């Protein structure tokens, strides 16, 4: 650490980090803790791969999320209008602290626990309405609508406004490089969506989180208008996107490891531990949100200059054998505490209690209803989103095997 050196530039194709993230990141992790790479945007970045370094960096206040701390021309992210860009993922304290405090009460374990029964009813209703076919895609029929319904109900988004939401967020989070105009159109559509929604809530406030945030903006003046709009945008997108992939990846992993699913079904007490292991094993976020050092900083013995882009590989950290023995093996009995799938430090996911609950309920209800559920394709044929930053399934084809009718019985798994 006293004589930090710059690492050699590894021969790494960004496409490999998408196609085989655990294999590609694993090779980099064993070559060294920090690497100079070229991202999918064509710009250089510093990739951190080992668990201890990633965890420490996540909580280091010298690594800023504010894009104004990037070197000129050194960052090329999605261009969002100010009304969507002034969100927690682009903020440092004290603004981050102020805004996070306003919404934290909505996501405390106690408040989230009060949502358990409605979420379970929603999951059961979705399972009741699965298409009556031998093969079903669980992403559009179950894994995606459940988080959309939950977060929209929490924020107070009317049913009539939810139809296009998934298409917009998909275009924004995982842009199609062959159709870049789709992302730009989605930004405009989302801006219009939130502008109308906030106007409606101002005119007709209700007992929901968005109405409460508008009251804070209008009556207490603790949010400006861009912060209000950006916060609503982030809560909806983050509350939906990552939970969809957490549920989808978890179902796929359990179906690909029937012995682990059998162990879970045999012991309901394993559910909480299983959720943590599933988040570690194949989480929804391979890379944490980019960061920019506010000064020259040493990470893993390597000096990273101020303002350059730092990428923290959660995927590499979660398969680091220095922290998790036999890390490529799914083991729902493992103590996966300390995984970083939901962040660490001041940017730890606000919705973590809700995401855990939704995932547990989704798994419980699904496997309770369809005990013989199986994948309709081999695990290696499952198609995933082409993104370095978001690891999710494009489709999850399954065979319900017998398709039992609706049931009001309590889950046997959790």
Q: What is the pLDDT of residues 240-270, one digit of tens each?
A: 889 999 999 999 999 999 999 999 999 999 9
Judge whether residue 405 has pLDDT over 60. Answer: no
Paired tokens of 365: 């209800």
Average pLDDT, integer, range 179-186:
82
- Per residue in 196-229, pLDDT tens? 999 999 999 998 889 988 988 877 767 888 888 8
Q: What percent of the chain has pLDDT over 90?
A: 58
Please state which of the ranges 279-293, 350-364, 394-408 shows the lowest mean pLDDT.
Answer: 394-408
The structural domains of the chain, with segments of one domain joined by +, span 14-399
pLDDT score of 7 more than 70: no
Mean per-residue pLDDT over the chain, rounded: 88
Q: 86-101 in b/e burial notation, b at 16+ Cβ within 10 A? A: bbbebbbeeebeebbe
Query: Tell me, what's the pLDDT at 221?
Result: 66
Residue 182 CB coordination number (10 Å): 16
The fold of the 14-399 domain, in CATH, is Cytochrome p450 (1.10.630)
Quote the pLDDT of residue 158.
Answer: 86
pLDDT score of 1 more than 60: no
The string of DSSP letters for 286-327 reads: SBPPPBEESS-EEETTEEE-TT--EEEBHHHHHT-TTTSSST
pLDDT digits (tens, 9 = 90+) for 148-176: 999 999 989 888 878 787 788 777 776 67
pLDDT score for 5: 53
């Amino acid at each position: 650490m006293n004589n930090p050196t710059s690492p050699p530039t590894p021969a790494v194709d960004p496409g490999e980090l998408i196609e085989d993230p655990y294999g590609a990141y694993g090779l980099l992790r064993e070559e060294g803790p920090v690497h100079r790479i070229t991202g999918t945007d064509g710009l250089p970045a510093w990739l951190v791969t080992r668990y201890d370094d990633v965890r420490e960096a996540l909580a280091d206040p010298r690594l800023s999320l504010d894009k104004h701390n990037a070197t000129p021309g050194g960052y090329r992210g999605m261009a969002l209008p100010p009304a969507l860009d002034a969100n927690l993922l682009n903020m440092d304290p004290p603004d981050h602290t102020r805004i996070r405090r306003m919404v934290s009460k909505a996501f405390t374990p106690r408040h989230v626990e009060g949502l358990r029964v409605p979420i379970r009813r929603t999951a059961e209703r979705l399972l009741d309405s699965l298409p009556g076919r031998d093969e079903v895609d669980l992403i559009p029929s179950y894994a995606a609508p459940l988080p959309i319904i939950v977060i929209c109900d929490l924020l107070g988004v009317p049913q009539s406004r939810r139809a296009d939401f998934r298409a917009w967020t998909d275009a924004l989070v995982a842009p199609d490089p062959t159709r870049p105009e789709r992302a730009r159109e989605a930004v405009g559509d989302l801006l219009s969506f939130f502008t109308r929604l906030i106007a409606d809530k101002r005119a007709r406030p209700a007992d929901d989180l968005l109405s409460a945030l508008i009251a804070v903006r209008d009556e207490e003046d603790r949010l400006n208008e861009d912060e209000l709009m950006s916060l609503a945008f982030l809560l909806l997108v983050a509350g939906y996107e990552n939970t969809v992939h957490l549920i989808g990846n978890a179902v796929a992993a359990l179906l690909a490891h029937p012995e682990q699913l059998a162990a879970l079904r045999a012991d309901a007490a394993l559910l909480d531990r299983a959720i943590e292991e599933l988040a570690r094993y194949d989480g929804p976020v391979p890379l944490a949100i980019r960061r920019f050092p506010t000064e020259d900083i040493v990470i893993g013995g390597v000096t990273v200059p101020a303002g350059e882009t730092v990428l923290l590989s959660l995927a590499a950290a979660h398969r680091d054998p220095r922290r998790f023995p036999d890390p490529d093996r799914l083991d729902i009995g493992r103590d996966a505490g300390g995984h970083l799938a939901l962040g660490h430090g001041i940017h730890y996911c606000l919705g973590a209690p809700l995401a855990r609950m939704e995932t547990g309920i989704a798994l419980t209800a699904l496997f309770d209803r369809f005990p013989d559920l199986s994948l309709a394709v081999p695990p290696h044929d499952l198609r995933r989103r082409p993104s370095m930053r978001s690891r999710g399934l494009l489709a999850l084809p399954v065979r319900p095997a017998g398709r039992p009718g609706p049931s009001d019985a309590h889950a046997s798994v959790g």
